[in-house]
Amino acid sequence: MELQAIAQKLRDAEIAKKPIAPLTETEAQLTAEDAYRIQLHQIQQKVSEGAVVMGLKIGLTSKAMQEMLNVHTPDYGFVLDTMVFQEQSAINAERFIQPKVEFEIAFVFKEALKGPGVTVEDVIRATDYVVPSIEIIDSRIEDWRIKFEDTVADNGSSAGALLGSKRTSLADIDIANIRMTVFKNEEVIDSATSSAVLGNPLNAVVWLANEVGRYDIAIEPGMFVLSGALSKALPFANGDRFQADFGEVGDVRISFQPAEVKK
């Protein structure tokens, strides 16, 4: 099995916006370790071409998602500067293949974190502040027919990130009990609390720091971590607008370009 060739297939699918068959169907021997190596091949190639790693995302933090993919662990992916969007800018949904949005609390770091052995106390000490955030996920795998190895190889199905502007110190909040309400086109469509993320988003960041440490990767000062979705991912199209209100942590908004009027 040539991992670099598989990485190129995913890259080609992303560029052409043409998804491929699940890797778990075409590469029967694919392991989780292989999948992370495939992910890293893609990131290293993009960095060699000028992209900059801005942060990391944690996925599969909810029991429902883990049960759906028959796994008992989260996964992660990288967020590059080419994937970071601003609240003020309308995004063209057509740049993606089959995208969805998720709503999360992002941690921004003032000190480096590197596993093994990272604890909750280490994460609290290293965190500069938290902000509300939105992740755009997308799959380069046909019809989201993913298993764990598929989404890992596909950079955790990551496609974009948007950070809210309000910065909050961990000392000022109970991070495990943040209430979130989600609006789509001004209508309430979902709500959740931050305890949905492994009981406490801090636990997710601890897991991440120790997991990436296995590949000699650190969470560096200035980087952010999307700590995991509080609720289910929602599909979108051009013309849609979303707002996630995280109470004392603030709110974050994302909008997609107005839908074209059919003549």
Q: What is the pLDDT of residues 19-44, one digit of tens each?
A: 999 999 999 899 999 999 999 999 99
* Helix (H/G/I), strand (E/B), else coil: 184: strand
pTM: 0.96
**Of residues 16, 23, 2, the one with CA closest to residue 155:** 23
Beta carbons of 39 and 155 less than 8 angstroms apart: yes
Contacts of 185 (CB under 8 A, 6+ apart): 240, 241
Beta carbons of 180 and 192 less than 8 angstroms apart: yes
Instruction: Provide φ and ψ at 162, rounded to 5°.
Output: -140, 125
Contacts of 11 (CB under 8 A, 6+ apart): 42, 45
Question: Cα separation of 146 and 21, whole Å?
Answer: 9
Element (H, E) at 120: helix 120-126
Beta carbons of 227 and 262 less than 8 angstroms apart: no
Q: What is the pLDDT of residues 98-120, one digit of tens each?
A: 999 999 999 999 999 999 999 99
Question: Cα separation of 205 and 80, whole Å?
Answer: 18
Query: 234-246 burial by CB neighbour count: b if 16+ within 10 A, else e?
Result: bebeeebebbbbb
Question: Cα separation of 78 and 36, whole Å?
Answer: 11
Beta carbons of 98 and 143 less than 8 angstroms apart: yes
Element (H, E) at 254: strand 251-255
- Partners of residue 188 on adjacent β-strands: 183
Residue pLDDT tens, the chain, 263 long? 799 999 999 999 999 999 999 999 999 899 999 999 999 999 999 999 999 999 999 999 987 778 878 888 999 999 999 999 999 899 999 999 999 999 999 999 999 999 999 999 999 999 999 999 999 999 999 999 999 999 999 999 999 999 999 999 999 999 999 999 999 999 999 999 999 999 999 999 999 999 999 999 999 999 999 999 999 999 999 999 999 999 999 999 999 998 775 55
